[in-house]
Structure 1
Amino acid sequence: MQQEINVKKINQSVKKVGDIFLNEYKQDAIPQNMEELLKKMDDIDKFVVSSLKKRLASEFPSTPWIIGDEFDTDAQRKPAEMPEYWICDSMDGAIQYLQHIPGWTINLALIRNGKLHFSVIYDPLSDELFWAKDGEGAFMNDKKITLSNKTDFASMIAVFEYGHQDKSTNNLIQKTGPTITNLLENFGVVRNFGPHGLQLAYVGAGRIDLFIQEDLDTYNWLAGILIAKEAGAEILTTNGNSWHWGSESLLIAKKETAQRYLQTN
């Protein structure tokens, strides 16, 4: 395990892979059945991981790779027992990509000793690359990002997300409804956007004021969590506790915004 990492090399590698998909965006027909959809999503996973492995082999010759399978519930409950490894959310928002809709990114996170060490999220359509290194801040295209300074809920944008299946034991449907209602009653604008990690990066960049999601969705969150955290956001669960790997909900916002929101419940 090398102590220093080549951030420029990692970011360039992710960007190059993402741009391959940009060049092919909307060129293929939209899948018309589940079998075709799953096949195309699997192809995306394999291509992204194999491409990044090759590009980063010289820098990380022995670092293992894990595809961030959001349907693998058990694997999302705790870090893998390895000193260092990559988690690749090959394409966050792959369904949007295949449906010819904006809102898809390439996400990559480096885990060291069970903790987030580095992450990058690349949005090819906007040519925006968000990244963060533990303890060194968060950036977008090499410019440091910061949280929104808003104080009025009426001018804030809150987003909610949900997974494709209930992976927890927290009565997902029963919790999601009241959560959305509470957002609508308190915030000026409420949205559901799609790519989880990019939304968290947007919190870090001051574009979104609060992100909330019930249920377990670790792999979708990891890359964005580090970026939001390094930009200064609070990383909590929906009951206000500190988020940890395996938590079954996520709430991310500026400290004051999170505290005020929690008081509305």
Structure 2
Amino acid sequence: MNKQIKIQTILDAVKQAGDLFLKEYKLNTIPANKVDFFRELASIDERCMSVLKTRLANDFPDTPWNTVDEFDNQGQKQPLQLPEYWLCDAMDGAIQYLQHIPGWTINLALIRNGELEFSVIYDPLSNEMFWAQKGLGAFLNGQPIRPSIKTDAGIMLAVFEYGHQEPAIPGFNQRHGAAVTALLNQFGVVRNYGPHGLQLAYVGAGRIDVFHQLGLDTFNWLAGILIAREAGAEILTADGNAWKWGDESLLVAAADIANKFIQNKR
């Protein structure tokens, strides 16, 4: 295990991976069938991972990489039984990238003894690098970030996400619809944006006031969860319990905002 984390090395590696795709942004032909769609997704993943593994190999020679697929629900329910490993969402928002629209990032998390130790989210289009280390705070381009201090729900921005459910869960769409209705009833602005990790980082930075999602989506959440938590946001389930790895919902907001939302929807 590499006890010392060489932060700049990690940030530089993630930036190199993101900037590789920035140079080619909107140059691809938008996939028109499933064969092309999945081929492009696989290519993005392969190229991104190649850059990250090459750049981090010297400083983290003994740190393996997570090999569990992000659509493997069972594999997302608990961390690997390893002292340390990397978990990468090679491109969070890859569909947006392929469709030539904003909202895609490179996300990387370092897991130690089953807990989030370090994470980074890089948005190449905005040239913004969010990162956090356990117990040491969260940062955007080197400056500390904090969640929202708003008190008027009428001017708060709440976002909702919808995870892939394979196989389909009976009644899930109805539950999701009720959750969106609850958000609409309490907050002035409700949106769906796309990249999970970046939205969580935005909660940490006070740009988004509430993030809400039903369903299991652990790998898409992890990097953003550490950033939001270290910034000072509450990391809860949709029912208001403290979130833990494997929980099948997520609610992230400043403490006062989260508590009021939960109380008012009951």
Measure how far apart 1:43 and its partner are: 0.8
Identity %: 60
Q: 1: distance between equivalents of 2:58 and 2:2?
A: 12
Is the Cα–Cα contact under 8 Å of residues 16 and 51 in structure 2 kept in the other structure?
no
C-alpha distance in 2, partners of 1:235/1:3?
A: 26
How far, CA to CA, are the matches of 1:126 and 1:13 in structure 2? Answer: 17
Q: Which residue of 1 aligns with 2:148?
A: 148
Match of 2:3 in 1: 3
Contact map agreement 1:68 1:220 (CA 8 A) in 2: no
Task: Specify the code of the residue in structure 1 equivalent to 2:13.
Answer: S
- Which residue number corresponds to residue 93 of structure 2? 93
Distance 1:155 1:166, change over 3 A: farther
- 1:69, distance to aligned residue in structure 2 (A): 3.1
Residue type matched to 2:5 in 1? I
8 A Cα contact 1:166 1:172, kept in partner = no
Q: Is the 8 A contact 1:147 1:232 kept in 2?
A: yes
Whether contact under 8 Å (2:148, 2:206) holds in the other structure is: yes
CA contact (8 A) 1:68 1:87 kept: no
Is the aligned partner of 1:135 residue 2:135?
yes
Superposed displacement of residue 235, structure 1: 0.4
Match of 2:27 in 1: 27
Which of structure 1's runs of 4+ aligned residues deviate more than 3 A? 166-171
> Shift in Å at residue 171 of structure 1?
3.9
- Could you say if the C-alpha distance between residues 61 and 199 of structure 1 is closer, same or farther in structure 2, counting changes exceeding 3 Å? same
- Distance, in Å, in 1 between the alignment partners of 2:50 and 2:167 is 28
Secondary structure at the aligned position of 1:264 is classed as: helix
The C-alpha deviation readout for 1:170-226, integer Å capped at 9, x for no partner, is: 842121000001111110100000000000000000000000000000000000000
Assess, with a 3 A threshold, how the Cα gap between structure 1 residues 67 and 128 changes in structure 2: closer, same or farther: farther
Structure 1 residues 125-159: Cα deviation after superposition (integer angstroms, max 9, x where no partner): 00000000000000000011011110110010000
Q: Please name the residue that 1:161 is paired with.
A: 161
> Aligned pair count?
265
Q: TM-score, normalised by structure 1?
A: 0.97
Structure-2 residue corresponding to 1:116: 116
Q: Which amino acid aligns with 2:49?
A: V
Contact kept in structure 2, 1:14 and 1:52, CA below 8 Å: yes
SS in 2 for 1:75: helix
Which amino acid in the other structure matches residue 234 of structure 2?
Answer: E
Contact kept? 2:22, 2:125, Cα under 8 Å? yes
Whether 1:185 aligns to 2:152 is: no
In structure 2, stretches of 5+ residues that fail to align are: none
* SS class of match (1:101): coil
Q: Distance in 1 between matches of 2:143 and 2:123?
A: 15
Q: How far 1:165 moved relative to its partner?
A: 1.9
- Give the distance between the partners of 1:172 and 1:229, measured in 2 at CA: 27
Instruction: State the one-letter code of the partner of 1:205.
Output: A
Distance 1:246 1:169, change over 3 A: farther
Please report the RMSD computed on the Cα atoms of aligned residues, expressed in angstroms: 1.3
Q: Could you tell me which residue of structure 2 aligns to residue 125 of structure 1?
A: 125
Structure 1 partner of 2:49? 49
The CA deviation at 1:242 is 0.6
Once residues 159 and 165 of structure 2 are traced to their aligned partners in structure 1, the CA distance between those partners, rounded to angstroms, is: 19
Query: How far apart are residue 67 of structure 1 and its match?
Result: 5.1
Secondary structure, in 3 states, of the residue corresponding to 2:120? strand
**3-state SS of 1:151 partner:** coil
Match of 2:74 in 1: 74
CA distance in 2, matches of 1:68, 1:120: 20
Checking the alignment, whether the CA contact within 8 Å between 1:67 and 1:88 is kept in structure 2 is no
CA contact (8 A) 1:68 1:89 kept: no
SS, match of residue 66 in structure 1: coil
Query: How far does residue 50 in structure 1 lie from its aligned partner after superposition?
Result: 1.4
